[in-house]
């Protein structure tokens, strides 16, 4: 399946979102974020090494860790801003995950829609 740069960046932002949410809610992230961080790094590395997606025409077999870090830091900042903009929803989500362990996408979407319709202060994420 072909993916655009925007789609890959969105995947990275979602992967980093869990780590960011843990840091915001609990002051630090857990080992549970390790797999997400590894996958986010892998996608960023592929964007640089295979797909030429960072405004460079040179495709490197192994991009420097600094180049990967630049991509991850940029997307981390965007994800953090998104979570801060939706802090009330984020707080609810953290409580429910702590209580239930796992939530279905349907439950999360229903709560988001409920907050959106009741307060109209939670625009659909566009980050």
Q: Which domains does the chain have, with CATH numbers?
A: 1-85 (1.20.58.760), 86-127 (no CATH)
Q: Which residue has the tokens 């319709």?
A: 117
Angle CA(97)–CA(99)–CA(103) in degrees, nearest 5? 40
Which pLDDT tens digit goes with each residue over 78-119? 999 988 888 888 788 878 888 988 888 898 888 888 877 776
pTM of the model: 0.73
**40, 15 contact by CB (below 8 A):** yes
pLDDT for 97 equals 85
* Cα atoms found within 13 Å of the Cα of residue 29, Cβ hemisphere only: 15
């Amino acid at each position: 399946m072909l993916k655009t740069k925007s789609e890959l960046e969105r995947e990275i932002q979602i992967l980093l979102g869990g780590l960011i949410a843990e840091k915001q809610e609990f002051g630090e992230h857990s080992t549970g974020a390790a797999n997400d961080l590894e996958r986010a790094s892998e996608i960023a590395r592929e964007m640089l090494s295979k797909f030429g997606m960072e405004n460079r025409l040179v495709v490197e077999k192994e991009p420097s860790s600094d180049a990967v870090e630049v991509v991850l830091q940029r997307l981390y900042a965007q994800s953090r801003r998104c979570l801060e903009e939706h802090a009330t929803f984020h707080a609810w989500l953290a409580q429910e995950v702590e209580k239930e362990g796992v939530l279905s996408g349907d439950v999360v979407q229903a709560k988001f829609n409920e907050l959106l319709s009741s307060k109209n202060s939670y625009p659909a994420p566009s980050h």
